[in-house]
Structures are given as structure tokens and as C-alpha cells.
Amino acid sequence: MRLSVGRTGSCHDNALAESLFATLKNEWYYHKRLSDTSTTKHKAHEFIESYYNRFRPHKSIGDRVPAEVMQEFFERFERGLAYDPKAMQTA
């Protein structure tokens, strides 16, 4: 993991990424002892995809789970597409 490239308040400050990395480190990384880079990358991806996105509620989206919110978005998108499929075509 690397430090942020910008200072607080600059255009390089990415609060969303910083929040994810803080959560990743506090809830997972400091509790594991992994042997190599490949294993660490695999386990970090597994944590994010299987827990962080699918079971852990997020305050920024009303204490809901990201996978739930994403599913609702795609359902609305599909309904819109069924209503007016030409609106989704590019010129």
C-alpha cells in the first residue's frame, strides 16, 4: 500500500480511496499474517468482494450494502431500457 500523492484539500486527495484503505487495514490487514505478495493480493481482493461490498453496511449510502444498491441501479437501468431501448443506442 502507498501513501496518498496529494495534500488534504488538493485535487489529488481521494477521500473515498483513503476511506477504503483505512477500513481494509483496520478490519483485515492488521489481523492477518500472510506469507507473500500474491497471497496478500488475493486475500485483499477476497475481503473486498466477499465482505466489504456484499455484507458490510456503508453510512454514505444510508447504512446499506453496496451490492444491494448496485443491484437496484441495474434493475432501474433495465426497466428504463425496456421502456425506451433507442435511448440507450449511440449515434
- Residue 57 belongs to what domain range? 15-88
C-alpha cell at 32: 492477518
Instruction: Give me the pLDDT at residue 5, please.
Output: 58
Residue 4 lies in a domain: no
Whether residue 1 lies inside any domain: the answer is no
Give a yes or no: residue 78 inside a domain. yes
**Pairwise CA distance, residues 36 & 22, whole Å:** 21
Residue 44 included in any domain: yes
Q: Is residue 6 part of a domain?
A: no
| pLDDT attached to residue 30 | 77
pLDDT over threshold 70, residue 77: yes
Percent of the chain with pLDDT over 90: 12
Q: Is residue 90 predicted with pLDDT exceeding 60? A: no
In the chain, the number of structural domains is 1
Residue 9 in any domain: the answer is no
**pLDDT confidence of residue 51:** 86
Q: How far apart are CA 91 and CA 26, in angstroms?
A: 47
Answer whether residue 3 is part of any domain.
no
What's the mean pLDDT when you consider all of the chain?
A: 79
Q: What is the pLDDT of residues 50-73, one digit of tens each?
A: 888 888 888 888 999 999 999 999
